[in-house]
Structure 1
Amino acid sequence: MKKPSLLIIFLTVFIDLIGFGIVLPLLPRYAERFGAHGFEIGAVISSFSLMQFFFSPWWGRLSDRIGRRPVLLISNGASALSYALFAVAAMFQGETGLIVLLISRVAGGICGANLSVASAYIADVTTAENRSKGMGMIGMAFGLGFILGPAIGAFAAGKWGLQAPGWVAAAICAGNFILGCFILVESRVPGMSNAAPRPKFAQWKHTLQQPHVGLLIAVFFLATFCFTCFETTLPLLLASSGLHFDETGIGWLFAYCGLMAAFVQGGSIGRLVKKFGEAKLIWMSLVVVAASLALIPLAAKLGSLLVALGLFAIGSGINRAPTMGLISKNSPVDEQGASLGVAQSFGSLARILGPLFATTLYAQSPKLPYFICGGIALAAGVIAMGRIHDVTSARPATPPNS
């Protein structure tokens, strides 16, 4: 495992996710300021993931053809521009501001290739034995980015006004682009794949038909779906519960979850994979997620809530790395970027559908989304237990013209 390369890609993803974390909590407030309500706010929030769903496989396949470095640099530069548009939107009023805001999120989603291509980068520079440990670094970057990002955004908005978070995020991503130009090295072996990107639906079909990859992506989709339902409804649940959390308290609880997840993903995942294997970790983590989702709405005291949230963060934090590791191992070596891009697309689909599903159930009963998603996670764990198995090495490259 090439540690300098892993550190560089960790910094790239970490800085990118700080920018994402800065603007994400502010989106509803921005949209409301421009007169949006209900479905319109949801459409603005979902637009980023909707674009990622369609474009991540294409970026992944392109990175297989031209290399990871240029795609990551394009993504960083485009992200800086999209966050600048986010800041510019605050200069307008009403429908014009809402349109600029929507364009900024659509543009960011189209060019938001960092996670899928970074996963492919890690697959390039790690051995099969250390693959999940490397993938865990993305999870740690994700958790840390979502701890620092919202805090920076809240400080900037309070200190300099609503335009400031967008400009700060743009500056951070521009700095990430400049840093990448100097320190980011290419990870793809020259000549590994010169095939042109397949049309997106053909790529999805091709990837999902790879042995075991389709099942792993389905498990990843369900795990992401449950996580999105959790993060969508938790603020509502905490505000209406007997514990009466305000926005500051809710923010600290999310930071606590991020810290727990980052600790597991960055510090323990390698040892856990060696002890249990990737396949076993996948179903065990889903069982932990299922149990914690059932416990969260029943927590009547802060201590029990922290235990339930900690279990959820640990289960969710463990799940991603071995799942991504097995997807890469079950994919031909010249298609790992494309396969991880398809997985990222289905993660985006889960982030589109999850909030709609969760808020509909929450309107019926605040506990209902947690119990139903707990059942979904448990079902996914049972399926994974019986049908997902460890793989020791990646598949050979795809034969020409296949």
Structure 2
Amino acid sequence: MKRPSLLAIFLTVFVDLVGFGIVLPLLPTYAHSFGASGLVVGGLMASYSAMQFLFAPIWGAWSDRVGRRPVLLISIFGNVVSYGLFAFASTLQGSMALWLILISRIAAGICGANITVAQAYIADITPPEDRSKRMGLIGMAFGLGFIIGPALAVLGQSLMGKVGPGLLAAGICAVNWVLVWARLPESLQPGQSKEAVRRSRLGGLGHVLSQPVVGFLVMIFFLATFGFTTFETTLGLLITRNFHLTETAAHNANAILFSLAGLISAMVQAGPIGRLVRTLGESKLIALSLVIFGIGLLPVPWIHGHGALDWAGLTGTEAVEWWMLLVCVALIAIGAGLTRPPLFGLISLLSPDHERGATLGIAQSAGSLARIVGPLFAGAFFDQHPAWPYVTCAILAVLTGGAAWWRLVGRVTLPRTAGAVS
């Protein structure tokens, strides 16, 4: 395997998530300053994931036919344009700004679906026995993107004002395009793309779900993403309520907690994931990671305290409550971080070479769908009782882990010396 290829793919996903992390914390306040209602803000937030849901299978299937490299180059260029539009929108006012932000988020969601192609590229250039470990690079890029993105948003805004974050994201994507163009060779073998099967979107979904194990893995990814999105959506609301925080203190605490979660997730996927796959196997690791996630999620709504999350808060009289919450967040991050690499490793191993991109695209769409419906569920249940989203998703995670153990452990035989099997 050529190291530049792996580095370029890692940076492609990393930059996608950095761009997402730059825009995400700014989007609600930007939109609100332009007169957007809560419903409009929610629509802007959902538009990115909705486009990923629609276009991930399209990018994946297209890459099976024409190759990974041209699809990545086109989608990265689209990201440059989308973040440039976001930067320009920040200089406008009123409905024109809102419409341009919506267009930029739609474009970013369409082009951000290239994560599917990056996963297929890694599967193409990685031996079966290392596939899950290499898929951990995708998860590590996710974690690092969510750590660095918000920090770059603050930096860009301080240097260039409201236009800064969008321009910074566009510039990073432009550098990434040059890197891919210069250093990324095609991963598909000659003639392999000719074997790609053309299917409609619904036909592709039906084909994937008709495969018992692969369909079950896609369902697991949907449920795992649904649970983590519920946590993302409600954590800020919950700590504001349970720790009696001001708006500023809640914002800072939420940023610290998510940075911690991203850091832990990245460390898990960069370090022990390969060793754990070799020791436990993909099936056991998926099941155990879901249980860890559920155990971390369940106690969160019952942790109460007073005082901000800062050095004084971690050493003063309320230190126990904050440390309890930090431990729960760490467990959630570990569980979530250990789920994705073996899950996508299994999917890639069980997919024929000429359908791998399309199959990974369907799986990625399932995650995007979870990011659309998850916030709606989380908000509605949180309004009824703050504990309901956490209890529901914790139980769901543990039950899914049990189902994964029963359905996968000892029942799925994987090739370790050859290509993928159908």
Query: What TM-score, normalized to structure 2?
Result: 0.91
The offset of 1:56, in angstroms, is 0.7
Any residues of structure 2 matched to 1:5-154 within 5 Å, and which? 5-154=5-154
1:163 aligns with 2:163: yes
Any residues of structure 2 matched to 1:176-325 within 5 Å, and which? 176-194=176-194, 195=196, 197-242=198-243, 244=245, 245-300=249-304, 301-325=321-345
Any residues of structure 2 matched to 1:327-346 within 5 Å, and which? 327-346=347-366
One-letter identity of the residue aligned with 2:129: E
Q: Deviations over 1:49-86 (max 9, x none)?
A: 11111111011011111111111111111011001111
Output the CA distance in 2 between the equivalents of 1:385 and 1:151.
Answer: 39
The offset of 1:11, in angstroms, is 2.0
What is the SS of the residue equivalent to 1:348? helix
* 8 A contact 1:129–1:392 mirrored in 2: no
* 8 A contact 2:283–2:342 mirrored in 1: yes
What is the SS of the residue equivalent to 1:163? helix
One-letter identity of the residue aligned with 2:72: L
What is the SS of the residue equivalent to 1:162? helix
One-letter identity of the residue aligned with 2:223: L
Count of matched residue positions in the alignment of Structure 1 and Structure 2:
397
What is the SS of the residue equivalent to 1:92? coil
* 8 A contact 1:57–1:345 mirrored in 2: yes
Output the CA distance in 1 between the equivalents of 2:268 and 2:11.
Answer: 18
One-letter identity of the residue aligned with 1:200: R
* 8 A contact 2:85–2:101 mirrored in 1: yes
Output the CA distance in 2 between the equivalents of 1:4 and 1:208.
Answer: 35
What is the SS of the residue equivalent to 2:128? coil
Any residues of structure 2 matched to 1:373-388 within 5 Å, and which? 373-388=393-408
Structure 1 residue aligned with 2:388: 368
* 8 A contact 2:91–2:162 mirrored in 1: no
Q: Percentage identity across aligned positions?
A: 52
Q: Deviations over 1:164-216 (max 9, x none)?
A: 11111111111111111101111111211324642211111112212411100
* 8 A contact 1:210–1:331 mirrored in 2: no
The offset of 1:354, in angstroms, is 0.3
One-letter identity of the residue aligned with 1:70: P
One-letter identity of the residue aligned with 1:204: L
Output the CA distance in 2 between the equivalents of 1:15 and 1:294.
Answer: 33
Say which is worse superposed, 58-67 or 246-255, in terms of deviation.
246-255
Output the CA distance in 1 between the equivalents of 2:4 and 2:414.
Answer: 24
* 8 A contact 1:210–1:330 mirrored in 2: no
Output the CA distance in 1 between the equivalents of 2:66 and 2:159.
Answer: 43
* 8 A contact 2:222–2:366 mirrored in 1: yes
Q: Deviations over 1:116-158 (max 9, x none)?
A: 1111011111111111000001111110111001111022223
5+ residue gaps, structure 2: 305-320
* 8 A contact 1:243–1:302 mirrored in 2: no
Q: Deviations over 1:285-322 (max 9, x none)?
A: 00011111102222341111111110000000000000
The offset of 1:111, in angstroms, is 2.2
Computed over aligned residues only, the root mean square deviation of the Cα atoms, in angstroms, reads 1.5
The offset of 1:2, in angstroms, is 5.0
Structure 2 residue aligned with 1:400: none
The offset of 1:159, in angstroms, is 3.6
One-letter identity of the residue aligned with 2:203: A
One-letter identity of the residue aligned with 2:119: S
* 8 A contact 1:17–1:149 mirrored in 2: yes
Output the CA distance in 2 between the equivalents of 1:391 and 1:344.
Answer: 23
One-letter identity of the residue aligned with 1:131: R
Say which is worse superposed, 376-385 or 273-282, in terms of deviation.
376-385
Output the CA distance in 2 between the equivalents of 1:381 and 1:2.
Answer: 36
Query: What TM-score, normalized to structure 1?
Result: 0.95
Output the CA distance in 1 between the equivalents of 2:225 and 2:413.
Answer: 23
Find runs of 4+ consecutive structure 1 residues off by over 6 angstroms: none
Output the CA distance in 2 between the equivalents of 1:396 and 1:330.
Answer: 5
* 8 A contact 2:128–2:420 mirrored in 1: no
* 8 A contact 2:83–2:169 mirrored in 1: yes
The offset of 1:44, in angstroms, is 0.5
Q: Deviations over 1:347-381 (max 9, x none)?
A: 00000000000011111111211111111111211
* 8 A contact 1:264–1:318 mirrored in 2: yes
Match of 1:392 among 414, 417, 421: 414
